[in-house]
Amino acid sequence: MILDSAPLARLLADFDQSHTPDSRRLFHGRGQCYPGFEHIVLDYYHPVIVLTLFAEAADSDLTQIMNDLAPLLAKGAACVLLQRRYLPGAPAEVFYGEMPEHWCARRGNVRFQLALNGQQNPGYFLDMEPGRQWLEQRANGRRILNLFAYTCAFSVVAVAAGAECVVNVDMSKSALARGRDNHHLNGLDKKRSQFLPEQILKSWSRVKRPGPYDIVIFDPPSFQKGSFVATRDYAKLVRRLPELMPSGGEVLACLNAPELGPEFIAELFAAECPAAEFVERLPGSADFPDAEPERQLKLLHYRYPGSL
């Protein structure tokens, strides 16, 4: 087995230019572009490399991966954290080096706290970078609603870019607490962000109260038992747009469900908010190549003209 070295070579070129490069995906086997490697993912959060396995790998495979990572380890990466997603609880272990007490995702001048603690992801979604760039370009002076905010990466980016206010809503108090910590970590004005621990579909009056909004972001889970199922509940989000932004604004509708294509969201907007104008589907991150692009993370930009 020889791991395609092109993704690693790209990362190493960046690493030569900076000792604190932006966090990124090094190798995306899940996109089915590298036959035989569909179960392997490599992510880089300086100085930690996260090797995620979605199926068991032979010791010889792990040895080859470590050999391919050797140049990066020699240039400053201090640790390889191995996560086995195919096992219950997605256990993680230090496979090489020493794990730093605190580790962060890096994006330019901002940082995001990371932790696994038995979870499937560390708290920052690398494939959402096109959405963060979209928001960064239009956040200045805007009032923004961030639904299903999780650890509030969208909010950190928006406030850093000059947003007037970002309202973050998520049912997980612990995720929002880390989101608040992310704002504090970056020295952001705490008056420009709010954190509402609410079950969104049951709390529309509290979600609407800080509005109206100029930008609304929908980033729900595709399936979360007991709270949200995209095929059943996404329509409930779209039909609320006239209440959330009565004077109009922009919408980023996100969905990470490979089995549902972009036409799923398009049909919901046509049925539930026909006044909204489709602008574009944002291109996927180059670090996440996929043999079937329709299965990639969906990021659809809509413009709502308002109802007033």
Q: State the pLDDT confidence band at 13, using cuts at 50, 70 and 90.
A: low
Taking CA atoms, 28 is separated from 89, 126, 274, in Å, by 22, 11, 37
Q: Which of 306, 262, 257, 258 is nearest to 282 (CA)?
A: 262
What are the percentages of helix, strand and coil residues in the chain, rounded to 5?
A: 35, 25, 40
- At a CB cut-off of 8 Å and minimum separation 6, what does 191 contact? none
pLDDT for the residue 7? 56
pLDDT in tens, 271-302: 999 999 999 999 999 999 999 988 899 999 99
Q: State the pLDDT confidence band at 226, using cuts at 50, 70 and 90.
A: confident
pLDDT, average across residues 55-59: 91
d(CA 232, CA 223): 10
Question: What is the value of pTM for the model shown?
Answer: 0.92
Taking CA atoms, 118 is separated from 23, 124, 134, 217, 261, in Å, by 21, 15, 31, 28, 30
Chain-centroid distance of CA 206 in Å reads 25
Asked if the model's pLDDT at residue 26 lies above 80, the reply is yes
72 or 273, higher pLDDT: 273
pLDDT for the residue 283? 95
Yes or no: say if 152 and 168 are a contact pair by the CB < 8 Å rule: yes
Q: State the pLDDT confidence band at 14, using cuts at 50, 70 and 90.
A: low
pLDDT for the residue 8? 55
With H, G, I as helix, E, B as strand and everything else as coil, classify residue 290: coil
pLDDT for the residue 10? 58
* Alpha helix ranges (H) inside the chain: 6-15, 59-74, 129-138, 153-160, 173-185, 204-208, 230-238, 241-244, 262-272
Neighbours of 119 (CB within 10 A): 12
Task: Tell me the average pLDDT of the chain.
Answer: 91
Asked if the model's pLDDT at residue 4 lies above 70, the reply is no
Q: Which of 19-33, 66-80, 198-212 is predicted most confidently?
A: 198-212
pLDDT, average across residues 249-272: 96
Q: State the pLDDT confidence band at 37, using cuts at 50, 70 and 90.
A: confident
Yes or no: say if 11 and 24 are a contact pair by the CB < 8 Å rule: yes
Asked if the model's pLDDT at residue 6 lies above 70, the reply is no
Neighbours of 203 (CB within 10 A): 15
Place of tokens 């990639």: 296
pLDDT in tens, 83-110: 999 999 999 999 999 999 889 999 999 9
- Token code pair at residue 82: 């191995």
Place of tokens 């100029």: 214
Asked if the model's pLDDT at residue 308 lies above 70, the reply is no
Q: State the pLDDT confidence band at 307, using cuts at 50, 70 and 90.
A: confident
With H, G, I as helix, E, B as strand and everything else as coil, classify residue 250: strand
Neighbours of 58 (CB within 10 A): 9
- Token code pair at residue 265: 């969201």
16 or 254, higher pLDDT: 254
- At a CB cut-off of 8 Å and minimum separation 6, what does 210 contact? 165, 167, 194
Q: Which of 153, 148, 77, 166 is nearest to 111 (CA)?
A: 153
Q: Hey, what domains does the chain have and what are their CATH numbers?
A: 6-113 (3.30.750.80), 126-304 (3.40.50.150)
Q: Which of 59-73, 142-156, 242-256, 275-289 has the lowest mean pLDDT?
A: 59-73
User: By percentage, how much of the chain surpasses pLDDT 90?
Assistant: 75
pLDDT, average across residues 68-84: 88
